[in-house]
Structure 1
């Protein structure tokens, strides 16, 4: 996901304007924008959980079909050597898919941690500026 997106799922003037405009033009658009503002940051987690649920379902189906996967539905070729090779290749591809899913999960966690660190840095800067400003105001008002 592009972290520099113009419209992020947060309350800011752009998203509020789009939400109001959506309600004015066609109320479901405004409602969709409101849902995006409220729940948009959870979309990646929702997608990951949905994919995991589907993967578990397919794993269960594979287990019940004695590890044959969908080959019992598509039928074998009748050539045992080819069928064995095909099964091995499908297992290899499945292992690669698992590795890719793990790498994607790790990357998502890394990006999330970067975002949190950036947010913490921005917040710390704000607090430093605020404290410096309040310290200057206090000194300026007591001197008069």
Structure 2
């Protein structure tokens, strides 16, 4: 008969009770978190509010479950769908979108530069006007 180390028999001894509870809830999914939050509101409303804030802060409220991880791989560039025609279409579309994004960013840079230049020209015009008007008012 083998004996287990204390850390293996009781996970909270290593991680702490909070981590053990968090891991236990995570294994049961988002529904367990929502049920705990509702029960927290029913029995002691600050506990429910604390759970709600924690779920939002830790991104448990709006994150997808692990069952949706397969759909995320669709958007990766290196992931193959198994269909060569579709993969070529996807690669071409992504390349075209990247080019459009680069062109748009270049356009925005030119637009910002033109705006900065016009603001600077206006500033210099106002400054020159004030320096020209300043000595004339002093002489009068």
Normalising by the residue count of structure 2, what TM-score does the alignment of the two structures yield? 0.45
Normalising by the residue count of structure 1, what TM-score does the alignment of the two structures yield? 0.44
Structure possessing the higher relative contact order (Cα contacts under 8 Å, 6 or more residues apart)? 1
